[in-house]
Amino acid sequence: MSDSSSTGDLVAAAGAGIGASPPAVSWPPAVSSPPAMSSPADVERLLRVSDAEREVVVQRLSVACAEGRLTLEEMGGRVGSAYTAVTRADLEPLTIDLPVSIAAPVAAVPPMVVVAPPKPKKKWLVTVMGELKRGIPRLADHTVVVTVMGESNIDLRHAVIESPQIEVHTYLMMGSQTITVPKGVEVEVTGFVFMGEKQVKIIDTAPRPGVPRLHIRVIGMMGEIKIRTA
């Protein structure tokens, strides 16, 4: 009896499936979307930069400094970052706050006309039997520092320049002079101090195209002249 009952149950179960609709299957099967690809701009920022691209940024920084948009210290720091940049993303922050420089058209000079070169600008800082502490906001082509029986402290770190070649001449008689220059700027120091001392503590910076060059010439007697990087 148990065998026939089990067989009947199997037949009944099989019959129950006859005529039933098969489960719905979607076509084509759903496929998960692939991950979004980076935009072309993002990919380009990851490209490694060439020496030519670094020089373009350095030239742009030099022009911005000459226009008064960057101080000598700011330009020196950005130039150092430009020369150590690896990717284009490293260069972007260095000029992101600077306008794109557009060269002005050069007017044609009529024939047989001689245009005289502009005279170099000169700035004088004179101290006699006193004390001078000053940060220079704008550095002329030629700056002269004269100290007689006094003390002068000249800070060039926040100065903007007016020429890629800057000359600073210092004259000292019985006193002291201290000149502070920013990092990242090429500095050459010449001259002497008679019956005194000349201290030069400058962080050496290799000459780089487009970077302003600072030449400091000292002449002193019975005093002390310090030139340092800070």
From first to last of its 230 residues, the chain has per-residue pLDDT tens of 445 555 555 444 445 555 555 555 555 555 555 555 567 777 787 889 898 898 888 888 888 887 888 888 888 888 888 888 899 899 999 999 988 754 434 444 444 444 444 555 788 889 998 898 888 888 878 889 999 999 999 999 888 887 778 899 999 999 999 999 988 788 899 999 999 999 999 887 776 766 778 899 999 999 999 999 98
Nearest C-alpha neighbor of 178 from the set 194, 205, 157, 206: 157
Provide the pLDDT for residue 200.
Answer: 93
DSSP 179-200: EEE-TTSEEEEEEEEETSEEEE
Q: CA-CA distance, 64 to 99, in Å (whole number)? A: 9
**Dihedral sign (CA 157, 166, 118, 146):** positive
Partners of residue 142 on adjacent β-strands: 122, 167
Long-range contact pairs involving 80-85 (C-beta distance under 8 Å, separation at least 24): 80/183, 80/184, 82/54, 82/57, 82/58, 83/54, 83/58, 83/208, 85/49, 85/54, 85/57
Q: Given this model, what pLDDT does residue 173 score? A: 93
